[in-house]
Structure formats: structure tokens, C-alpha cells
Structure 1
Amino acid sequence: MQRWRLGVYLGLVMSLVMLLTGCATNKASSTTSQSKRTVAKSAYVTSSRPTFYVHGFQGSAKSTNTLIAHAEKTAHAHKVYVATVSTSGQVTLSGHWDAKTRNPIIQVVFKNNLAQYDQQSAWLAKVIQTVQQAHSFKSYNLVAHSAGCVASVNMLMTTGLKLPTIHKLVTIAGPFDGVVGEDDVANQNSFLTSGQPKYLHAAYELLDAKRANFPNGVHLLNIIGNLDDGSNSDSLVTNVSARSVKYLTRGHNVHYTEKVFHGKHAQHSQLHENAKVALMIDRYLWHR
């Protein structure tokens, strides 16, 4: 009788051990599977919407190389085309845009990097149209530095252009209302209670006259540099000049975000080499 009871007891113990082991194994397997899914999901989206990077006055591909390289490394973006605009306005695309490419980037290069805003606006519109003919898309993003910001905003306010819908616009050190040493002076300008700059320079007056044409619903990230040397500027563009783009978008339901970077790495040309600036742009454009 005792042996029988002992056998039953040992059988129950073995069954309990096997049950607990199975539960632990299933739980571990479930945890491992869940962990793999968590690791596999990127913090950045997978989008087919193209983003155009535009340099400024006297700029070149070097002006946007660092920003693009950072986007490729961090946000899993891929440069698909370099769109080169000749001095006569002819657009040449080099590269390849595969249908499955994640977060595609087009780098815009003007051979004549001294052209006026309106000319660069026309060229930029032609670049976008040329790329759309090569690879169809319905909406796009723009990242621009310095004079490229003014050219981009001017293009968006120009009627008669058959362009896709602008989704997000990033302006870096945009001289919308003057350039220090040319038609602006540090700490001279300010904003009125209405938000309008006190002094309206020639280029700004032209933009303001067209502001009714600014598209609705645009997401705008305005990046500004301040050297913290008392000039309230990035050496070339005062903070007031850079901020003045906001007044141009009034009444258009623009989702406006402003970020000021400080110190020596916030100098006008250093902004597009600044890793913190690049990271902010990547997150603004592609972060979930």
C-alpha cells in the first residue's frame, strides 16, 4: 500500500514539474517573441514621400551633405537623386529611385548659386516637376538653408505652378527680412504687437504682397541661430529676420514650430553642420 501511495505521489510531483516547466517555456518564448517585435519596430516611419534639400546663396552640395548623411544614418532615409540645375535652367537627375525606397531624398544643386530668389524659385519648381515626371508622388517635404528658404517660400506663394502638395517645410537661417551687412543691422529690427516686423526690407515686401497665396495646412519648422554674442543673430541673419516668416503665414492654418540654437555652432553656415540641428530635422520629418 505504501509503495502505491509513493508511486502516486511521485507521479503528481512529476506532472506538476512538467506543467510548470511548460508554462515557463511558453512565457519565455512569448517574451522573446514580443522582444523581437519591439526591437524590429523602428522609431522612424517608412514613407514614399520625397524630401527635397535646397542649399542657399553661394552654396553647393556640401551645404546639405551633412544633413542628408545624418538622415540616412538616423531616419533610414535614402538619397535617390541629385537634381542639378544648369546655369541655363536645365534639370539633370542622377541616381535611381526604387519603388520600395524608404524616405527618399532629392538633393538640389544650383550651378548658378548667385541667382536671385525669384529665379531660384522657378528652378526649384522645375526640379520638383521633373522629379514627379520621373517618379510620381502626391506630396513632398522641403528642407532649405539660408536663401534657399526665401526661394522655397516664394515658390509656395507663386500662383500658376502645377506642383504636388507641400506637407512639411523646414527653414534653416532664412533671411526673410534682410541680411546683416547688406540691408539689415543687428538689433535694429523688432516686431510690432501685430507680429509684423517694424522694418520691411525689399525682399520681404515682395513676399508679403503674395502671402495670400501661401498654402493652407503646412507644417513649418523654423530653425534659427543665435551666437549669444549680443547681436541676436547667426552672424548673417538676425533672429527677427528669420522669425519674420511666421507673419507671412498668418491666416493659413500653418502648424508653426520654432527652435533657436545657441552658441558658436549656431553660426549661419555651421547650422547645417550641427548634429543637433540634423537630429531635430530628422525627428520632425520622419519620427513616429
Structure 2
Amino acid sequence: MRNKIISIASFSLVIIGFISILAIPNRAISDFDKIRPTLFVHGYKGTENSFGFMLERFEHEYKWGDKALVYYVTKQGVVQKYHPRLGRKKPMFVQVIFAQNRASFELTASWLANVLQDMKKVYGVNDVNIVGHSMGGIVALKYIKQFRGEQFPSVHKFVTLGSPFDGIYSEEYFQIHRDPAATDLRPDSPALKFLRKRPFPKHTQVLSISSTGDAIAVPESVRSLREIVPSAQLTEKVIENKQLGHSDLHESRRVDQLIYEFLWQDQVNVESKTPSSFR
């Protein structure tokens, strides 16, 4: 009799455990249903630190939202993910990190598509915002134009920071950098020409940020986004600051402010610090 009771109890625990496992995806989906996630995509040779300090400011100093998820793509293209803070009601930040940070636009955009496909499948995310620095903005644009369909989230708002859509004009740059990504970053490369071939989706609004101090993505190259995105959907901000270099764009409080105003001006909790607090 005792053995029978133990067997029934064990069976009940297995059933309860199975039900709990089945419930996890639904709970994850409801977490992401609360507000549209914003992805942060680093550029050429970027690392976790590329957007790490910006996200620290957004989350802890300004209290604009929570870093909810980190996607790490290995050099073999395997998508791994970590869940710092799922389940908050504030805007959710999602950081995307590519271990192979010098891969071609084609390969990197396919990895980004795999990340977004996972967000759609696992969390039920239908649309996102994307913030991309340098090549990250170019790769995100490639995703927007190339990967469409029910299995991929659409992009609601898109922010680019120092993205050279017409390529990097300095020939000296390519004497140092000779990998697939560098090849794609050359002016008139087939990879850059591809971005001009397909129509831009009508529902996506774009903010392009550049700096007069950026010697890699000079404002002229950044402005070529006008040839890709219709003027009614494009907002351009050129920061007149000769000291604000290429990598400084994701460390600038002025850039923080511009992102805030474009993405969340009317959404962030009233207790959060507003841009006027650090002008």
C-alpha cells in the first residue's frame, strides 16, 4: 500500500512538472506583450561594451526601462540567450552580440534574422524597434529590406548611429582592415548597392544620427540614407561637435536624448528622468 502511495505521488510530481514546463513559453510571451522591445545592434568589431554603457545609463541612471534579454551569436552562428530581467512593465531593451564581429553583411544580417525569428516564435513579438551603431545600422537595414514574412517581426522605429550607408571613404582604413565586413564597407560594394534595390517598408520610421567629428562615417556617407528611405519617414540629426568621434556616439548623452525623444517620449514612466534633466 505504501509503495502504491509513493508511486501515485511520484506520478503527480511528474505531471505537475510537465505542466510547469508547458506554461513557461506562455509566461514569456505575456512578459513581452507589455511593450515593444528595442534591440541594440553593435557595429564592426563591436562587443558587449559597444552598447553596454549606454544601456547602463538607460536602465540605472535615467530609469527608462529594463535590459530584459541578451542574445549572443557564436562564431558558428548558434543563437544563445540570457534573461537578465524578463517580466518588467517598462520598455524592454534587448542587446544583440555577435562573436564573429567582422563577418559580411549577408551573414550578420542572417544571424540578426535568426535572433528576431526566435523572438517571434518564443515570445510572440510581432514588431520591434532597432538601434544600430555603424555597421550595425547597415545590417539592421538589410534585415528590414530582406527578411519579411509572418516568421519575422517587423520594425516599427529604426535608429542609426554613424552608419556609413555610402561606405567608408578613407582608403587608409582598408589598408588596415581586410576582412569580409571591410570589403562590404567599401564605397560601391555589391553589398551596399543591394540596399538600394528593394523598396523600404512604408510603416517604418527612421532616425539617422551623425557627427561632424566622425572620421569613419562622415556625414556625407550617413546622409546617403536619403536615397533609400523616403523623406517622409526619415529624420536626420547631425551633431556639430568635432570632438564627438565614431565610437563616442554610443557614449554621448546628447545621443541618449535623441534616442529617447524618438522612441519613448510619450511612453516612459513619468518617474523616469527626462532628457531636460541632463541638457
Name the TM tier (shorter chain): 0.7 to 0.9
Which residue, 138, 141, 152 being the options, matches 1:163? 152
Q: 1:175 aligns with which of 164, 169, 175?
A: 164
Aligned to 2:211: 225
2:89 maps to 1:109: no
1:68 to 2:55 alignment: yes
Q: SS at the partner of 1:157?
A: helix
User: For each residue in 1:90-130, what CA deviation from the matched residue of structure 2 results, as whole angstroms up to 9, or x when unmatched?
Assistant: 11110155344310011000000001111111111111111
Deviation per CA, 1:192-247: give whole Å up to 9, x if none. Answer: xxxxxxx962233221123x2x21121100001102xxxxxx11112111011121
Matches within 5 A, 1:7-156: 48-72=35-59, 73-74=61-62, 76-96=64-84, 98-156=86-144
Q: Which amino acid aligns with 2:217?
A: V
Q: Which residue of 1 aligns with 2:221?
A: 241
Which residue of 245, 254, 271 maps to 1:267?
A: 245
Question: Cα distance 1:63–1:105, how it changes in 2: closer, same or farther (>3 A)?
Answer: same
**CA 1:173/1:120 → structure 2, altered by over 3 Å: closer, same or farther?**
same
* TM-score normalised by structure 2 residue count: 0.73
Larger Rg, first or second structure (1 or 2): 1
The answer (yes or no) to whether the contact 1:75–1:282 under 8 Å persists in 2 is: no
Helix, strand or coil: the match of 2:128?
strand
Give the drift of 1:71: 1.9
The alignment-based identity, stated in percent, is 29
Secondary structure of the structure 2 residue equivalent to 1:244: helix
Gaps of 5+ in 1: 1-45, 186-198, 228-233
Gaps in structure 2 of 5+ consecutive residues: 1-32, 175-185, 267-279
- 1:67 maps to a residue whose letter is M
Q: Is the 8 A contact 1:179 1:237 kept in 2?
A: yes
Residues 30-61 of structure 1 show CA distances to partners (whole Å, capped at 9, x for unaligned) of xxxxxxxxxxxxxxxx9610000000000011
Give the 3-state SS of the residue equivalent to 2:168 in structure 1.
coil
1:134-164 residue CA offsets vs partner (Å, 9 max, x unmatched): 3222211000000011101011111555312
* CA distance 1:265–1:217, change in 2 (3 Å): farther
- Equivalent residues in 2 for 1:194-213, closer than 5 Å: 201-202=188-189, 203-210=191-198, 212=199
Q: State the shift of 1:283 in Å.
A: 2.0
TM-score normalised according to structure 1 size: 0.71
Mean alpha-carbon deviation: is it higher for 238-247 or for 71-80?
A: 71-80
| Amino acid paired to 2:36 | R
Does the 8 Å contact 2:64/2:90 carry over to 1? yes
Asked if the contact 1:226/1:239 (under 8 Å) is kept, the reply is yes
CA contact (8 A) 1:148 1:174 kept: yes
SS in 1 for 2:246: coil
Partner Cα separation in structure 2 for residue 200 and residue 111 of structure 1 = 25
Q: SS of 1:205's equivalent?
A: helix
Partner Cα separation in structure 2 for residue 183 and residue 217 of structure 1: 39
Distance 1:75 1:170, change over 3 A: farther
